[in-house]
Structure 1
Amino acid sequence: MVTLHPGAQMGFLRQTAVAGSTRPVLEEASSMSRVAAAAGKAREAEAALEAAEGDEAHKLVKAAGVYADALADLEALGGEEAGEALAARVLKGLGFSDADLTRGCDTFSGGWQMRIGLAKVLLQEPEVLLLDEPSNHLDAAAKTWLGDYLASYPYSLMLVSHDAPLMEAACTHVAEVSSGRLSSYAGGWKAFQQLRAQKMVNDRSELEKLDKEAAELEAFIRRFGAKATMAAQANSRKLRLAKLDVRRQELRAVVASDRQAAIASEAAEAASEGGEAALALVGSGRMAVKLHKPPRSTREQLVVSKAAVGHNGGPSATLDDAVLGDIDFKLERHMRVAMLGPNGAGKSTLLHALGGRPGKLHGGHIEEGDGVEVGLFTQDLAQDLPMDTCAAEYVLSCRPVGALTYQDARNACGGLGLAGDSAERPLHQLSGGEKARAAMAAYVVTPHTTCLFDEPTNHLDPPAIEALAQGLYDHSEAGGCVVVSSHNETFMRALQPTHVLRVGDGKATLTRGPPEEHEWPSAANKGMTKRTDPPKSQKAKAAVKEPPAPSASADETCKLDFKEAKKLRNRLKTVTSKMERLEVKIAGFDEEMAALGADMGTIGEISAKQEAAKAELEELEMEWLELEDMLT
């Protein structure tokens, strides 16, 4: 059960949240803020006061008191002007310009509407703030701003994210969901990595210890289970073994999950650092993305001549309405193009124009070569899925009948981590990330020669991102052309761009070679401010301390105990070996006596030897039990 304190507010940003409003951005973002709520109460109180002017005196006094309290609450928050200034600061931090603040929300793409939704829940300032992948659709500068903002957030915050720098900046605790369990660690992302690494060592050590104990218990049961005099001890060990098996099964699942979690956390850390070194860390993922082989086509894929592109093209559009103009370049097979430029420069608009979206080309020409098939993957594609269909069926429906089998569709989903039951569940039951994977799976099974991607890594975790980068690289090597706009530096570096399409200042220019080092987001990212001043108890828990060095006397005691235990273990091995030889000898006496037939004299001699061997074995068994008890 989850209980929210009476009077406390909870704010929740889903991965698929959009503003869904035609109001101006500033008005929509601040519509649920504390200032807006206080101003609304003040207006209601003022209206109630005006309505009470003709009533009895005590009602008028009461209404006046309510109005005065409402005004005091509003003034305590700084007034409506302060609220508007805060909303503008939050929106600008998330990348909006002054001109954007008066634009209608419906004029923005889904990615920018996500930012409006994020600004709206931040300005609400709830006592409990729940954010699900809030850094999706954000560039490096906006991510840094968000990390700094959340680091100083005055209330409780719960964050679901694959963004390691954001988690380190914003969080004082990390909760990990693994093997159906929730484990909580005090400290930020780096402290979590240290503590979880130690937990993984402890889990493996415990499993090894229990496996060894189980083997000893099984050996005892095999040796003594059939002896009437040892039945109680054997049954006791059977019960102990049953309990051990439950815990061993749990630990095996935990250890296996630990390996996968380690891959994900290392990949998230790598994503925060950028650079080619990240590839070795995320390369351990098991996902694989294989795009459909590009059809045969001409070397020149798209030829752009004197083109101008904008938001609302068509017969009435003019060059003055264009966002980018005088564009000239060619896209060819085997190209891997990184599209770079600031927010609002027109990257998405240009990609949509290259993809043939209506209304984007204001002038000039974009011509396709013979046999060219252009595919556009956009930020908003997952929002348009048929929600009552399962992922595998949707992928199958995107190809002509007979082009794919149902298993092919499932394999495509599984390659992006949407495996098992997830591929069979209706899309409306899937998370935003799972929907994005379904949309990506449908894209990769469709034959394209030129692949255009607008922020394809939103909602994908690091292993899936690395798998996608490898798949796009392989596609270009097979003769395809790939153009990508993304804020994910690790993904873009893994793609190994052959060209850069720089968009800005109303122009788009294609050049050969990868981006310059200073053009990567990490070069301009100065880092985030760590969330500060957790309670003292949290600081104490978050500290990772070295164990104190043992004293000389304690160390000597440990050495003596170890030496004695070693002697006992060696003796146990000797006794076990003697017991095994005696058991073979006793069994051999049985075979000899059976072969002698009626020679009772010889049989009697052998029987006496056998009884002596059994007596010796019994003595050894008693010693074996004593040694085992001393060692447990």
Structure 2
Amino acid sequence: MIRLESIGKQNGKQIVFIEASATLMRGEKVGLVGPNGAGKTTLFRMITGEEQPDEGQVSIDRGTSIGYFSQDVGDMSGKPVVAEVMNGAGPVSELMAEMAELEAAMADPDRADEMDEIITRYGEVQGRFQELDGYSLDGRAREVLAGLGFSQEMMDGDVGALSGGWKMRVALARILLMKPDVLLLDEPSNHLDLESLIWLESFLKSYSGALLMTSHDREFMNRIVNKIIEIDAGNLTSYTGDYDFYQGQREITDRNQQAQFERQQAMLAKEIAFIERFKARASHAAQVQSRVKKLDKIDRVEPPKRRQTVAFEFRPAPRSGEDIVLVKGVDKAYGSRTIYDGLDFHVRRRERWCILGVNGAGKSTLLKLVAGTADPDAGTVSRGPSVKMGYFAQHAMDVIDGDDTVFQALESAFPQAGQAPLRALAGCFGFSGDDIEKKCRVLSGGEKARLAMALILFDPPNFLVLDEPTNHLDIQTKQMLIEALSAFEGTMLFVSHDRHFLAALSNRVLELTPDGVHTYGGGYTEYVQSTGQEAPGLRS
């Protein structure tokens, strides 16, 4: 369907692609991977025609329809959400708009002399509209929106009143309703809660068209894709299998290449030593010349490209007492909406609680109550006397001073630390070289999240309260965080929609449901086994 043939592309001084080739076949579901800045978005834009390659060509089969979801959703306002979604549904929405115009024309007495042509055209348009199942469009739009977490009230409300995250869901719904031959999805799992993520996963698994997507959610990628295309140093390499298979194959390839490189280096060293030893002796001149020619002809093996990996080790945190948090008889409401009514909850040392619940169940509210940034309407929330808390809120990135550089932000938080430890800390969280001098205002969402996490973890707490800590983090940084938190000796209370993160770190589950609060003694994996569902909103 889509072929990238010997693509070359340069953005300014950066070479993005060098004679890169790949194909997307009918029905394939492909994950596009590569480090930040490797060219994933550029590749999408070349397929849609928004950008052109400098060399080579992008070939797309005639008549192939393409739907592209990007993080740039544009302006939305003045329409109900459901109308905004239907308006972007491709040919069927265009036919619907033309039918409305023709209906208005039929009711216009000034156009009576055109009536035969208008009625004929209306019949043609209506016939095509029926072929495309247009009369079910409203119902299908509402079904997609419901899957992405919209209530009926939200569907009929003004799209302009929604937050940026919900507008992202509207943009995604438009593309899904369109049902093109090829779906290009750039981070579709961002801004989704667990229930919506699982619904989207099911939708894409049963989708009959071709799919090319990026995602920072490893579990989501594993369950959908059957092929990986990797962008690395300007090349495109295809692997048949899911993300875990790709990662395993990549490690094997790197090990083999490293071994081949080392064998060749040993051989070269031996040959060069011989040449150096005997080059001045006339008796060995022929042998020396022969070996020089041999070295000139050898194809040099390159060592495997080193991916920038970050690792963070916690310094020992002060030990807390056994009781970390005690929530007793807590009531909390926002206006007429009751969030908690007599909530009791006890967190003990070394417990790692993940909180599950549908949108609006009160997950972030509970974290705020525990962190002390919100007060209960009734009841008490108390922390143990030796508890030292680190709190990562969803807005943690917003309080970083945009005029500071990354290093200045760290230095102002830890003025006694000294340059070397702070530079090491920055490096652990992916800020190396000139990155440490970047102004915070120009940082990407992922970079801000990493900086906010560094500010929390440098002076080690013994109790971590984390609200969606993996949002904006790529797969490699998430893995670093999981490995660091796995070695954390303290206590954790957290909310996340990343199932890999939940399964790796939790040993307790607090489930918030309309019929009350439920606790589970095992972690997320045991919760799934116990309930038969991956999220509270999916339980019957």
The amino acid that maps onto 2:236 is L
1:230 is displaced (CA, Å) by 6.5
Equivalent residue, structure 1, for 2:89: 33
CA drift of 1:134 comes to 2.8
Which amino acid is 1:337 matched to? W
> Displacement of 1:176 after TM fit?
1.7
Instruction: Give the 3 Å change call, closer, same or farther, for CA 328–214 of structure 1 in structure 2.
Output: same
Output the CA distance in 1 between the equivalents of 2:178 and 2:447.
28
Residues 1:348 and 2:364 are matched in the alignment: yes
Q: Distance in 1 between matches of 2:476 and 2:432?
A: 14
Deviation at 1:485, TM superposition (A): 1.8
Aligned to 2:330: 307
Q: Once the two structures are superposed, what CA deviation does each residue of 1:581-604 show, in whole Å capped at 9, x if it has no partner?
A: xxxxxxxxxxxxxxxxxxxxxxxx
C-alpha deviation, 1:307, in angstroms: 1.9
Pick closer, same or farther for the CA change 1:65–1:381 going to 2, 3 Å: farther
Aligned to 1:488: 498
How far did 1:300 drift?
5.5
Is the CA contact 1:451–1:483 (under 8 Å) kept in the aligned structure 2? yes
* CA deviation after TM superposition for structure 1 residue 509, in Å: 5.7
Q: What is the aligned counterpart of 2:133 among 39, 54, 78?
A: 78
Q: 1:176 to 1:94 in 2, by over 3 A?
A: same
In the other structure, the counterpart of 1:247 is: 300
2:516 aligned with 1:501: no
Q: CA deviation at 1:503?
A: 1.9
Tell me the C-alpha RMSD between the 2 structures. Answer: 4.5
Q: Name stretches of at least 5 consecutive residues in structure 2 with no aligned partner.
A: 1-8, 10-45, 50-59, 535-540
Q: Is 1:442 paired with 2:455?
A: yes
**Is residue 456 of structure 2 the alignment partner of residue 433 of structure 1?**
no
Q: Which amino acid aligns with 2:393?
A: T
Helix, strand or coil at the partner of 2:303 = helix
In structure 1, what is the Cα distance between the partners aligned to 2:75 and 2:382? 36
Distance 2:228 2:429 in 1: 26
Partner of 2:100: 43
Q: Measure, in 1, the Cα distance between the counterparts of 2:510 and 2:452.
A: 25
Please state how far the C-alpha of 1:121 moved relative to its aligned partner. 3.5
Report the CA distance between 1:287 and its aligned residue.
Answer: 1.2
- Helix, strand or coil for the counterpart of 2:300? helix
Distance 2:409 2:266 in 1: 49
Q: Out of 393, 401, 407, which is 1:378 matched to?
A: 393
Asked if structure 1 preserves the Cα contact closer than 8 Å seen for 2:326 and 2:347, the reply is yes
CA distance in 2, matches of 1:38, 1:361: 53
Structure 2 matches for 1:328-347, cutoff 5 A? 328-331=344-347, 334-347=350-363
Whole-Å Cα distance in 2 between the matches of residues 411 and 118 of structure 1?
Answer: 40
In the other structure, the counterpart of 1:269 is none
Compared CA separation, residues 158 and 369, structure 1 to 2 (3 A): same
For the pair shown, the structure with the greater C-alpha radius of gyration is 1
The alpha carbon displacement at 1:321 in A equals 1.8
Contact 1:301 1:332 in 2 (8 A): yes
Alignment map for 1:46-445 (pairs within 5 Å): 46=103, 53-54=110-111, 67-79=122-134, 81-98=135-152, 101-102=155-156, 114-126=168-180, 128-136=182-190, 138=192, 142-179=196-233, 181-189=235-243, 192=246, 196=250, 199-200=253-254, 203-204=257-258, 206-208=260-262, 210-211=264-265, 213-215=267-269, 217-227=271-281, 234=288, 237-238=291-292, 240-241=294-295, 244=298, 247-248=300-301, 251-254=302-305, 256-257=306-307, 287-290=311-314, 293=317, 302-310=325-333, 313=334, 317=335, 320-331=336-347, 334-357=350-373, 361-367=376-382, 375-379=390-394, 381-382=396-397, 390-397=405-412, 399=413, 402-405=415-418, 407-426=420-439, 430-445=443-458
1:437 alignment partner, SS class? helix
Out of 522, 529, 534, the residue aligned to residue 514 of structure 1 is 522
- Tell me which amino acid in the other structure corresponds to 1:377: F
Q: Any stretches of 5+ residues in structure 1 without a counterpart? A: 261-284, 527-632
Match for 2:392: what amino acid? F
> Is the Cα–Cα contact under 8 Å of residues 218 and 475 in structure 2 kept in the other structure?
no
- Check conservation: 1:436, 1:459, Cα contact below 8 A: yes
Deviation at residue 322 of structure 1 after TM alignment: 0.9
Deviates more, 1:433-442 or 1:192-201: 192-201
Q: Give the Cα separation in 2 of the matches to 1:18 and 1:442.
A: 33
- What SS does the corresponding residue of 2:430 show, helix, strand or coil? coil
Hey, what does 1:268 align to over in structure 2?
none
CA shift, 1:252, in A, is: 0.9
Q: Distance in 1 between matches of 2:121 and 2:287?
A: 79
Classify 1:212/1:32 alpha carbon distance in 2 versus 1 (closer, same or farther; 3 Å): same
Counterparts of 1:449 and 1:205, CA distance in 2:
43
Residue type matched to 1:502 in 2? E
For residue 135 of structure 1, what is the amino acid of its counterpart? S
Q: Does 1:13 align with 2:105?
A: no
CA–CA separation in structure 1 for the residues paired with 2:529 and 2:163:
22
Return the alpha-carbon distance in structure 1 between the equivalents of residues 185 and 355 of structure 2: 29
Q: Give the TM-score normalised by the residue count of structure 1.
A: 0.61
1:483 CA drift (Å): 1.0
Q: For residues 520 and 110 of structure 1, do their structure 2 counterparts lie closer, same or farther at Cα, with a shift above 3 Å needed? A: farther
Higher helix share: 1
Question: Could you tell me which amino acid in structure 1 is paired with residue 364 of structure 2?
Answer: S
**For the residues of structure 2 that align with 1:516 and 1:172, how far apart are their CA atoms?**
26
Residue type of the partner of 2:528?
W
Instruction: Kindly indicate whether the alpha-carbon contact (under 8 Å) linking 1:393 and 1:409 is maintained by their aligned counterparts in 2.
Output: no
Distance 1:124 1:440 in 2: 39
Change (3 A) 1:450 1:406: same
Q: 1:18 and 1:332 mapped to 2: Cα distance?
A: 46
3-state secondary structure, aligned to 1:456: coil
Taking the aligned partners of 1:413 and 1:517, their CA distance within structure 2 comes to: 33
Q: Deviations over 1:130-188 (max 9, x none)?
A: 32333345566544432332234344422123545543443343112345543223454
Structure 2 CA distance for partners of 1:517 and 1:474, relative to 1, 3 Å: closer
Rounded to whole Å, the distance in 2 between the matches of 1:113 and 1:522 is 35
Separation in structure 2 between the aligned mates of residue 525 and residue 508 of structure 1, nearest angstrom: 16
Answer whether contact 1:176 1:182 (CA < 8 A) is retained: yes
